């Protein structure tokens, strides 16, 4: 199973599983399709949006764990 970390680039996270996009959008990261966001790490983007990067990592990995079962 792939594991998400906060230093991963957003575009790489989306390539792991496109179903992670709604989790990011629901968290408030509405710039997922923005070209500049594609080069940002999850942590950088989360901080720009006032979000907790560790919570996002937990949410994304939790989703992947459920899908792996």
Averaged pLDDT, groups of 10, the chain, 69 residues long: 92 92 91 76 92 96 91
The per-residue pLDDT for 55 is 97
Give residues with Cβ within 8 angstroms of 16, minimum separation 6. 2, 4, 64
The per-residue pLDDT for 51 is 94
pTM over 0.85: yes
The per-residue pLDDT for 46 is 92
Contact (Cβ atoms closer than 8 angstroms) between residue 23 and residue 63: yes
Report the half-sphere exposure of 5 (CA within 13 A, side-chain side).
2
């Amino acid at each position: 199973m792939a594991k998400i970390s906060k230093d991963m680039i957003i575009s790489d996270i989306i390539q792991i599983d496109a179903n992670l996009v709604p989790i990011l959008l629901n968290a408030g990261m509405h710039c997922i399709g923005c070209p500049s966001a594609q080069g940002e790490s999850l942590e950088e983007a989360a901080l720009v949006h006032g979000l907790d990067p560790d919570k996002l990592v937990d949410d994304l990995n939790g989703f992947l764990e459920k899908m792996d079962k």
